[in-house]
Chains A and B, each alone.
Chain A
Amino acid sequence: RKEVEQDPGPFNVPEGATVAFNCTYSNSASQSFFWYRQDCRKEPKLLMSVYSSGNEDGRFTAQLNRASQYISLLIRDSKLSDSATYLCVVNGGFSGGYNKLIFGAGTRLAVHP
């Protein structure tokens, strides 16, 4: 089983739609969770951290369910510019001073007019 699993998609949605991605992780000891965005052939960039209480940043809402070990990302009012791959990232434990990050393979979103 992969440490971090995501539906690869693609999710094809019209502009203005609401779309949600889920991600599951296997290490129940994980403490930190993040969503990164990666545009085609570009580097990943941090989109948002995921807090236990859930957090919102404009049209983006991230939630964490520790009991079921999954993280979600909700995008409201989708824009064409939201088209990208969204990477779920989980802290894999602290070892030797390093907070190891485990990256999911990503979920691809395509927003069309």
Chain B
Amino acid sequence: DADVTQTPRNRITKTGKRIMLECSQTKGHDRMYWYRQDPGLGLRLIYYSFDVKDINKGEISDGYSVSRQAQAKFSLSLESAIPNQTALYFCATSARGGGFNEQFFGPGTRLTVL
């Protein structure tokens, strides 16, 4: 079984709809992240969380919100989806600790906003 799972894997929605993307992990990691990937651009960080009570904005948080329901669960919401939020979304996790810790990515959610 995958260590980091994301649901749904694909979603097509309309402008103005509320969408929630979910991420679960069984790696026991404290840190979780949400990124988006667009063609020709690198992954960009939306939000990150170091534990259940810790939520931090990344570089492109506008239009998004998150919830860390448990150590293993981190969800991303688009309150009112718009077409330029069409992208591939990845959840990632890493272990606690100073310096770099390898990030482990989920399989991604392909979101299309019409």
A16 proximal to B (CB < 8 A): no
Decide if the interface of chain B is mainly helix, strand, loop or mixed: loop
Complex CA gap A104/B37 in Å reads 11
Instruction: Report the minimal beta-carbon distance from A106 to chain B, rounded to whole angstroms.
Output: 7
Partner of A100, one of B45, B99, B102: B45
Is B48 close to A, CB under 8 A? yes
A91 lies within 8 A of B42 (CB): no
Which residue of chain A is the closest to B41 with respect to CB atoms? Answer: A105
How many A-B residue contacts, CB cutoff 8 Å? Answer: 47
Interface size on A, residues (CB 8 A): 25
- In the complex, what distance in Å separates the CA atom of A98 from the CA atom of B35? 15
Q: Report if A22 contacts B (CB, 8 A).
A: no
Chain A, range 78-108, C-beta contacts under 8 Å to B: 87, 91, 96-106
Category for how many chain B residues contact A: 20 to 34
User: Which residues of B approach A to under 8 Å, CB–CB?
Assistant: 35, 40-45, 48, 50, 56, 90, 98-103, 105-108
Give residues in A with beta carbon < 8 Å to B.
2, 4, 8, 32, 34, 41-46, 49, 87, 91, 96-106
27 contacts between A and B (CB under 8 A): A2-B42, A4-B42, A34-B100, A42-B107, A43-B90, A43-B106, A43-B107, A43-B108, A46-B102, A46-B103, A87-B42, A87-B43, A96-B56, A97-B50, A98-B48, A98-B50, A98-B56, A100-B45, A101-B45, A101-B100, A101-B103, A102-B42, A103-B43, A103-B44, A104-B42, A105-B40, A106-B42
